[in-house]
Amino acid sequence: MSGTAKTKGAARCDECGSVFAVWMAPDGDIEPIGSRAGCPCGKSAFRVLQ
């Protein structure tokens, strides 16, 4: 099983609208590239941009 492959994408913070480059895990997890803690505004809820 190779369930660790991540896809690069873009996502927008639900709170402040900032857009980040993110890693998208196969299980739906989203992790901002270069800021693992989430958005600087303090939220970590992101909406993936398609």
Site string for Zn ion, 31-50 (x = CB under 5 A): --------x-x-x-------
Structure tokens at 8: 């690069």
Please, what is the minimum distance in Å from the beta carbon of residue 44 to Zn ion? 9
* Residues from 12 through 31 that contact Zn ion (CB under 5 A): 13, 15-16, 18
**Using alpha carbons only, how large is the chain's radius of gyration in Å?**
11
Structure tokens at 32: 């901002």
Residues in contact with Zn ion by the rule CB under 5 A: 13, 15-16, 18, 39, 41, 43
